[in-house]
Amino acid sequence: MDTTTTCFNNLRTASLVSAGINADRIAFQTADGVTLHGHYWISHRRPIAAVIINAATGVLARYYHRYAQFLAQQGFNVLTYDYRGIGESRPEHLKRCTYRWREWGEFDFSAALRVLQDRNDLPIHVVGHSIGGILPGLASNAAGIDRMLTIGAQYAWWRDYASAHRRRLFWKWHIVMPLLTSVIGYFPGKRLGWLEDLPKGVANEWSFRGPRLERSFPAWQRETVLEHFRAVRSNILAIVVADDEYAPRPAVYRGLSYFENSARTVVELRPEDEGVDRIGHFELFHSRHRDCFWRATADWLATGVNPWPRRAVLRADASDAYARGRALSSLPVAATGLVSGRRVEKKQLRYLVELDDHLLSDVGLTRDQVRCHMRDRGIASAAGTSGLSSAWPRDSFW
């Protein structure tokens, strides 16, 4: 059943019986010796699976506690935790920290996953919000994850922000944040009311991130990073929110493209699907969504069946097509084309044609679906005489 047809009524009529599940405080060490703090909920039911909730950047783990308790009521054992430098895992002197974004995945998530594996003989699922949906790909032990539910998962390349908000977000996170960080020694986000304080390394990785995630690593580490992403063979359901200025479709597609050996489904939800005027990047974890969105996500974590089939905008089966690639010179290429009203060079158009071919052949979209994506991105046909219908620019995925 498509929950988008019943959600609004459920918000008015459904009731939730609280199981009164309380969490145990836990502390655990990472491989590089950092102590992290979190909470662990044990379901009163016979557990279905164990779930790790990965927070967004600068968001405390306790922001997700009501959702974690809800999942425990539905039969899941749930772990929440604060990354190094954040919340209960913050050291006394943040200015002295050298913590970096990548360590949240390489060490922190990896340690949280080991904790859950040690405590459970159950399938392991991940719920990842924003950067929390990318971090599993940085861990060396993420191959054991069964399912991943991501909400607005992206890694903050500024060109992927929603166009209507791009200038404001660029000024805020890519000019003001690095300037303040360089002066103070950490980012004073809490003082500004802009999320929590961030260690200098985390703030700078956000501010200076480019289109390719692995390029923020030393050259000798990049292939290892990509191999860790390829090792993840989970079933991924990625949620895009139509009015999310941080994580519109291009941002989510970019992050998902790294999980090339996972089956990936993208669902785009609109505020009206939830019976609200606005959702944005953070709203779905508010308890007002538990009888609609929360319940649907619990169903997916339990069954793996997409509760929003009519909202699916992209599906990519587990494949090595991204890693394998194809010789660009072997593809039919038109001499010129139009992309958002601008003429493009032959080399640029070749990228468009390659991606069009990938969407039609490897991902399995129909020509009508590709045209729909094309229209949503405001990109005119680049097919020319090649016979292909349309295409996205290469940067929408890579």
In a domain, 133, yes or no: yes
Pair 17, 156 in one domain: yes
Residues 225 and 77 occupy one common structural domain: yes
Both 42 and 64 in one domain: the answer is yes
Measure the CA–CA gap between 210 and 178, rounded to whole angstroms. 15
Neighbours of 131 (CB within 10 A): 26
Enter the tokens of residue 94. Answer: 């943040």
pLDDT per position as a tens digit, 207-257:
999 999 999 999 999 999 999 999 999 999 999 999 999 999 999 999 999
**275 and 137 both lie in a single domain:** yes
Q: What is the pLDDT of residue 56?
A: 98
Q: Please indicate, yes or no, if residue 195 is contained in any of the structural domains.
A: no
Residue 4 pLDDT exceeds 50: no
Domain assignment of residue 38, yes or no: yes
Residue at 194 is within a domain = no
Q: Are residues 375 and 287 part of one domain? A: no
CATH of the domain at 309: 3.40.50.1820
Q: CA 234: distance to chain centroid?
A: 14
Report the percent of the chain where pLDDT is more than 70.
Answer: 75
Regarding whether 258 and 342 lie in a shared domain, the answer is no
For 6-52, the pLDDT digits (tens) are: 453 333 323 333 346 789 999 999 999 999 999 999 999 999 999 99
Which of the listed residues 316, 336, 364 is the one where a domain comes to its end? 316
Whether 265 and 343 share a structural domain: no
- Residue 78 included in any domain: yes
Last residue of a domain, one of 269, 298, 316: 316
**Residue 272 and residue 238 share a domain:** yes
Containing structural domain, residue 158? 3-166+214-316
Q: Is residue 187 part of a domain?
A: no
Q: How far is CA 68 from CA 43, 79, 217, 267, in A?
A: 10, 8, 33, 22
- Domain total for the chain? 2
pTM above 0.85, yes or no: no
pLDDT for the residue numbered 105: 97
The answer to whether residues 123 and 222 belong to one domain is yes
> What per-residue string of b and e applies to 354-384 under the rule 16 or more CB within 10 Å gives b?
bbbbbbbebbebeeebbeebbeebebebbbb
pLDDT confidence of residue 178: 97
CA distance 320 to 362: 10
Q: How far apart are CA 107 and CA 114, in angstroms?
A: 11
| Domain presence at residue 172 | no
Same domain, 114 and 74: yes
pLDDT tens digits along 251-309: 999 999 999 999 999 999 999 988 899 999 999 999 999 999 999 999 999 999 999 99
Looking at the domain assignment, is residue 262 inside a domain?
A: yes
Residues 53 and 135 both lie in one domain: yes
